[in-house]
């Protein structure tokens, strides 16, 4: 335990160090919680005023238990908001508090400066409270059970969103406005004298243009005109829902989008915070008597379970690697072209750009682009990265490969679309019967059938007409259908035809 005035001195001190290093953050409000309270806040995803739902209770039950068994402990939580809220566990030792406060400031810097957080609502604390009140009102009016069941249905579709939608127009929902297509009356012709016309505008060309136009027109008739990845947004606009359901769905969607950047930058964000808490502690704040405890805690944060990947560790090591490389000038065409091992090993132009580079990286990348850009073969070897796969014969997960290309590919795949299957609305009037047709973009990993079926039932509860999902099963394009009472499965063709 630590007294409040001591803590506020610590906070002040560490804020100074953080600013000294060039970190730039929103004001931070610290709150001290005991472990039950912090588990509670964590169950609500950091927002104590969130709408009521049993799954938060479930989360709490689980956390309380695993805390009891000593399996996990939450030292801090930081909420992306302006001002940032940081929850600290009050039983942390003073040295832990220092480390954690440094960690918190780095997170806040990341929230404020990383481009992917640019589109998030910085008044989310208030927004979540509003959502809570709105949902509570619906419960009072319509009945708790019914609203709760509908929230279950919506949460089941939570991952059917488009992470890129946070850029550009933001979350404003403009779906498929049918623009006026080309008049289509006549194919545009190049100007020509009459006797030259059949040469300048040959019939074959006219025919081709006409066909293209025809296709364009067909596309216009299709609804939605192009595939919609933001399935939730599409449902809000087009599904036949009463007002309160539409509102609940839009609440779930808004909250899902709010959490997107956090899922997209886990490695970068945790790596950044670990990098800075270490810097602040070892260069500024650590007392000699605290060294052992600090080392213990810090190495715990960066520890790697056998065979697993720790995002804290990966991010932390990557920032260090980038700093080293840009300090010694190991980048650019000349370095890339060099294939002399000795030369590469001892490469040092004295560029000294490391610090600048990591600040730039934290501003413009997300996990996927970060890994794509900065994961090098040397790094992969040094860090002993490998891919694993299920060996169907033995039923074990086994180390599959240590090849750089495989590691990078697998890692990037797991980060694509936040690791979720890529599914979009293709047709909302399938077979001209108002049936919803979704397509799963197949990247080599099939869907889990039992979950897919259960999810389709929930989709049907919203769309209220039959629902279809096209995917690939055992190299065959397959269409799963649910018409409200029966599941069907139909083969559409071979994968190569896709």
Partner 1 sequence: MGQRIDRDLRRFRQIVRGVVKKELRKYMKSGELLGRRGRNVVSIPIRQIEIPTFRHETRKMGGVGQGDGAEGQPIGVGEGNQPGVAGNAPGQHALEVDVSFEELAAIMAEELELPNIHPRAREVIEADAGRYSTISNTGPESLRHFRRTFREALKRQIASGSYNYRQPVIIPIKEDRRYRARRTIRRPETNAVILYIMDVSGSMGDEQKDIVRNESFWINTWLKSQYKGLETRYVIHDAQAREVDEDTFFHTRESGGTRISSAYQLAAKMLAEQFAPEEWNIYIFHFSDGDNWGGGDTQQCFNLMEEFLLPSVNLFCYGQVASPYGSGAFITDLASHFDGHDNLVLSEINSKDEIYDSIRAFLGKGR
* 158 is a contact residue toward partner 1 (CB under 8 A): yes
What pairs with residue 78 in β-bridges?
86
CB of 38 or CB of 281, closer to partner 1 = 38
* 310 is a contact residue toward partner 1 (CB under 8 A): yes
Terminus-to-terminus CA distance in the chain, angstroms?
Answer: 62
* 399 is a contact residue toward partner 1 (CB under 8 A): yes
* 35 is a contact residue toward partner 1 (CB under 8 A): no
Binding to partner 1, residues 437-496 (CB under 8 A) = 440, 445-448, 450-452, 454-455, 458, 469
Report how many residues bind partner 1 under the rule CB under 8 A: 85
Task: Select the residue interacting with partner 1 from 81, 120, 250, 262 (CB under 8 A).
Answer: 262
CB of 281 or CB of 415, closer to partner 1 = 415
| 76-79 and 467-473 beta bridge pairing | unpaired
- Give 52's DSSP letter: P
* Residue among 6, 1, 12, 79 at smallest CA distance from 35: 1
- Give 281's DSSP letter: I
Question: How far is CA 198 from each of CA 5, 34, 188, 209, 211, rounded to the nearest angstrom?
Answer: 90, 85, 14, 15, 18
Altogether, the residues listed in the chain come to a count of 498
- For the CB of residue 445, give the shortest distance to partner 1 in the complex, in Å: 5
Peptide bond preceding 319: is omega within 30 degrees of 0, i.e. cis? no
* 415 is a contact residue toward partner 1 (CB under 8 A): yes
Binding to partner 1, residues 172-231 (CB under 8 A) = none
Binding to partner 1, residues 324-383 (CB under 8 A) = 367, 383
CB of 157 or CB of 239, closer to partner 1 = 157
* 274 is a contact residue toward partner 1 (CB under 8 A): no
Task: Say if CB 466 and CB 481 are below 8 A apart.
Answer: yes
Rounded to whole angstroms, the Cα distance separating 133 from 139 reads 10
Binding to partner 1, residues 311-330 (CB under 8 A) = 311, 313-314
- Residue entry with tokens 């990098």: 275
Stretch that binds partner 1, among 87-95, 111-119, 388-396, 425-433 (CB under 8 A): 388-396
CB of 14 or CB of 125, closer to partner 1 = 125
Strands lying side by side in the sheet with 84-89: 28-33, 84-89, 76-79
- For the CB of residue 312, give the shortest distance to partner 1 in the complex, in Å: 9
* 31 is a contact residue toward partner 1 (CB under 8 A): no
- For the CB of residue 132, give the shortest distance to partner 1 in the complex, in Å: 9
* Residue among 385, 417, 383 at smallest CA distance from 404: 385
- For the CB of residue 137, give the shortest distance to partner 1 in the complex, in Å: 16
- For the CB of residue 259, give the shortest distance to partner 1 in the complex, in Å: 6
Task: Say if CB 354 and CB 326 are below 8 A apart.
Answer: yes
Binding to partner 1, residues 51-70 (CB under 8 A) = 52-63, 65
Task: Select the residue interacting with partner 1 from 77, 273, 358, 407 (CB under 8 A).
Answer: 407
Residue 400 host element (H or E)? strand 396-401
């Amino acid at each position: 335990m630590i007294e409040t005035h001591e803590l506020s001195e610590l906070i002040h001190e560490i804020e100074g160090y953080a600013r000294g290093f060039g970190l730039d953050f929103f004001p931070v409000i610290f709150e001290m919680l005991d472990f039950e309270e912090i588990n509670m806040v964590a169950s609500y995803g950091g927002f104590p005023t969130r709408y009521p739902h049993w799954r938060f209770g479930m989360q709490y039950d689980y956390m309380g238990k695993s805390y009891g068994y000593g399996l996990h402990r939450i030292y801090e939580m930081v909420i992306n908001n302006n001002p940032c809220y940081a929850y600290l566990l009050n039983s942390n030792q003073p040295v832990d508090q220092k480390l954690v406060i440094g960690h918190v400031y780095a997170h806040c810097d990341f929230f404020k400066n990383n481009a992917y957080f640019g589109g998030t609502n910085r008044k989310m604390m208030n927004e979540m409270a509003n959502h809570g009140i709105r949902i509570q009102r619906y419960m009072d009016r319509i009945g708790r059970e019914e609203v709760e069941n509908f929230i279950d249905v919506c949460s089941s579709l939570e991952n059917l969103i488009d992470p890129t939608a946070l850029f550009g127009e933001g979350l404003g929902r403009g779906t498929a406005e049918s623009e006026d297509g080309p008049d289509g009356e006549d194919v545009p012709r190049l100007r020509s004298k009459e006797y030259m016309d059949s040469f300048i505008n040959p019939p074959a060309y006219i025919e081709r243009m006409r066909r293209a136009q025809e296709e364009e027109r067909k596309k216009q008739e299709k609804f939605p005109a192009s595939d919609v990845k933001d399935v939730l947004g599409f449902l809000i606009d087009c599904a036949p829902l009463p007002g309160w359901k539409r509102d609940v769905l839009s609440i779930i969607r808004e909250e899902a989008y709010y959490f997107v950047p956090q899922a997209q930058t886990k490695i970068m964000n945790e790596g950044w915070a670990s990098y800075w808490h270490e810097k602040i502690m070892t260069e500024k704040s650590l007392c000699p008597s605290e060294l052992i405890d600090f080392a213990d805690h810090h190495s715990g944060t960066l520890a790697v379970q056998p065979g697993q990947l720790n995002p804290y560790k990966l991010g932390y090591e990557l920032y260090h690697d980038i700093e080293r490389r840009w300090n010694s000038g190991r980048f650019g065409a000349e370095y890339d072209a060099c294939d002399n091992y000795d030369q590469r090993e001892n490469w040092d132009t004295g560029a000294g750009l490391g610090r600048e580079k990591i600040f730039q990286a934290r501003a413009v990348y997300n996990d996927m682009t970060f890994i794509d850009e900065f994961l090098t073969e040397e790094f992969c070897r040094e860090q002993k990265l490998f891919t694993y796969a299920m060996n169907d014969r033995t039923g074990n997960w086994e180390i599959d490969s240590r090849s750089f290309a495989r590691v990078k590919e697998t890692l990037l795949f797991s980060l694509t679309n936040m690791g979720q299957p890529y599914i979009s609305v293709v047709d909302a009037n399938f077979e001209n019967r108002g049936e919803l047709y979704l397509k799963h973009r197949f990247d080599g990993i099939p869907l889990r059938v039992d979950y897919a079926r259960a999810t389709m039932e929930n989709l049907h509860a919203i769309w209220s007409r039959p629902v279809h999902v096209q995917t690939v099963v055992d190299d065959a394009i397959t269409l799963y259908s649910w018409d409200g009472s029966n599941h069907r499965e139909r083969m559409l063709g071979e994968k190569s035809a896709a």
